[in-house]
Structure 1
Amino acid sequence: MVTAVAYSNFRQNLRSYMRQVNEDADMLLVTSTNPDDNVVVMSANDYDSLMETLHVAENPYLSDKVLRGLKQVRTGRTIRHDLIEE
């Protein structure tokens, strides 16, 4: 669940909210009196992950590879490989 905080409180405690978003790996909804001004704050790592997931989902080739891999795992058609040590 996304935590919501009023803009004025967010502004007064910006550093602690930034730390919270990064440590909890959760998003923060910053609300305003005008709902059109509301924003969501998330960590840069979570944003990068979300964008990568979106890229894969929008790319038919990559999306198909993921779905085929999931199907292989679900049907037990996987091969175990030992790690190669350098």
Structure 2
Amino acid sequence: MLAVNYTNLRENMKAYMDKVTDDYETMIVTRKDNKNVVMISEEAYNNLIENIYVMDNKHNYDWLMESKAQLENGNTKTHELVEVNEDE
């Protein structure tokens, strides 16, 4: 996680935005009176929102954790892929 003050961010906006998006960095923009903000990429934001949605629903979360445990314990099956014609 990077930290930059508002003045420095303003002077180097493109470089910092590129750092956030290209390097998947999270940046704290420091401001007076500790009214800081956090800058993240749109991709990171969308991922965060999706995780909150999945984790907020107990049924989804439990299903996900059960699936994860099955995978970690080697309780998996392999299936051949079936080709489907476009007209089906």
Distance in 2 (CA, whole Å) between partners of 1:81 and 1:54 is 31
Give the corresponding residue for 1:53. Answer: 51
The structure that has the greater radius of gyration is 2
- The alignment partner of 2:76 has SS state of coil
Alignment CA distance shift 1:5-1:65 (3 Å): same
CA deviation digits over 1:6-32, x for unaligned, max 9? 110001111111111000111001001
SS of residue matched to 1:5: strand
| In 2: Cα distance, 1:84 partner to 1:6 partner | 55
Deviates more, 1:44-53 or 1:75-84: 75-84
**Partner residue in 2 for 1:6:** 5
Aligned positions of 1:1-86 closer than 5 A: 2-35=1-34, 37-84=35-82
Count of aligned positions? 84
Tell me by how many angstroms 1:80 deviates: 2.1
Q: TM-score, normalised by structure 1?
A: 0.88
- Give 5+ residue unaligned stretches, structure 1: none
TM-score, normalised relative to structure 2: 0.86
> Which runs of no fewer than 5 residues in structure 2 stay unpaired?
none
**CA separation in 2, counterparts of 1:18 and 1:83?**
42
SS at match of 1:81: coil
Q: CA RMSD in A?
A: 1.4
Q: Secondary structure at the match of 1:30?
A: strand
Q: Distance in 2 between matches of 1:85 and 1:8?
A: 57
Give, in angstroms, the shift of residue 85 of structure 1.
5.5
